[in-house]
Amino acid sequence: MEEYLEFAKKLAKEAEEIALKYFSFETETTWKEDDTPLTKADTEINDLVIKRINETYPDHSIYGEEKSDRKEGSKYIWVCDPLDGTMGFSCGLPIFVFSIALVDQSNGQPVLGLINDPVMKNMYWAYKGSGAYRNGKRVFVAKNKTFLNTYSLTGASGNDVGFSNLTVHKILGEKKSRVMKFPSFIYGAIQIANGKFVAGAFYGKHSHDVAALKIITEEAGGKVTDLNGNERRYDEDGIGCIVSNGILHDEILECVQLGKL
């Protein structure tokens, strides 16, 4: 795992150079068929990920947001969001990250994850049994037992997973948690592992949005499930995710369930 981690770190720094090269208020944006924004940074970083993995680990598969390279019979698949937060990135807002996870395809669980914030120079990582780290310093989830005077977050509401984020946003607010929403869910949710937020709910189906969060959060002492409170695979689509400090997981799960469509 140390070898895989060093590879992921180097790849993240290369991706950082590309992201910062294109990042400005004049970033050119096109729109994909699903009506989400796309920039040159998204595609160049995704292409870089495929190139580097094929050069170094040719028997591994790759699942990227913009492009994938799946190989039959591969033990591992790298699950990557080359630029989570394209919406903010395309508006010149410094709220975006690079995210990559190494997933064991025998059970669909990540064994390594890395998230890099190119602007603030914060790199988070973990692998199975290692603990979680930010720039080499061990991080842990917060120990709050209630939502009172805490920070939490939601992702955009996604009808494709059968839930609305409005209910959980309302209930957490009533519990006196300050609820935030970022144009990059990963950007905010990694702060649960970092001990700044206590919980969050993501309403998308794609695993590239949550795979790295799964292992980093749990190695920091937290818990990650799908929106129904069940374990899910991270080499295929699923029913969103709930990320928490573990202590408050059942409580936010109850709130999320009230938002079923």
What is the 3-class SS of the chain, one letter each residue? Answer: CHHHHHHHHHHHHHHHHHHHHHCCCCCCCEECCCCCEECHHHHHHHHHHHHHHHHHCCCCEEEECCCEECCCCCCEEEEEEEEECHHHHHCCCCCCEEEEEEEECCCCEEEEEEEEECCCCEEEEEECCCCEEECCEEECCCCCCCCCCEEEEECCCCHHHCECCHHHHHHHHHCCEEEECCCCHHHHHHHHHCCCCCEEEECCCCHHHCHHHHHHHHHCCCEEECCCCCCCCCCCCCCCEEEECCCCHHHHHHHHHCCEC
Mean pLDDT of 31-47: 91
Instruction: Give exposure, 112-127, as e/b (b: 16+ Cβ within 10 Å).
Output: bbbbbbbeeeebbbbb
Q: Give the span between the Cα atoms of 63 and 4, in whole angstroms.
A: 16
pLDDT score of 258: 95
Domains 2-139 and 150-257 share a fold: no
Taking each helix axis as running N to C, give the angle between helix 185-193 and helix 211-219, from 0 to 180 degrees, rounded to the nearest 10: 20
| pLDDT score of 160 more than 90 | no
Per-residue confidence band for 156, with pLDDT thresholds at 50, 70 and 90: confident
**Residues sharing a CB contact under 8 Å with residue 195, sequence separation 6 or more, in sequence order:** 139, 140, 141, 142, 220
Per-residue confidence band for 33, with pLDDT thresholds at 50, 70 and 90: confident
2-139 homologous superfamily? Fructose-1,6-Bisphosphatase, subunit A, domain 1 (3.30.540.10)
| Digit-coded pLDDT (tens) for 63-102 | 999 999 999 999 999 999 999 999 999 999 999 999 999 9
Q: Give the span between the Cα atoms of 36 and 146, in whole angstroms.
A: 36
Burial class (CB in 10 A: 0-12, 13-18, 19+), 180: middle
CATH class of 150-257: alpha beta
Average pLDDT for the chain? 96
What pTM did the predictor assign? 0.96
Per-residue confidence band for 13, with pLDDT thresholds at 50, 70 and 90: very high
Residue 11: closest CA among 99, 122, 84, 141 = 99
Domain ranges for the chain:
2-139, 150-257
pLDDT score of 158: 66
| Digit-coded pLDDT (tens) for 179-232 | 999 999 999 999 999 999 999 999 999 999 999 999 999 999 999 999 999 999
| pLDDT score of 32 more than 90 | no
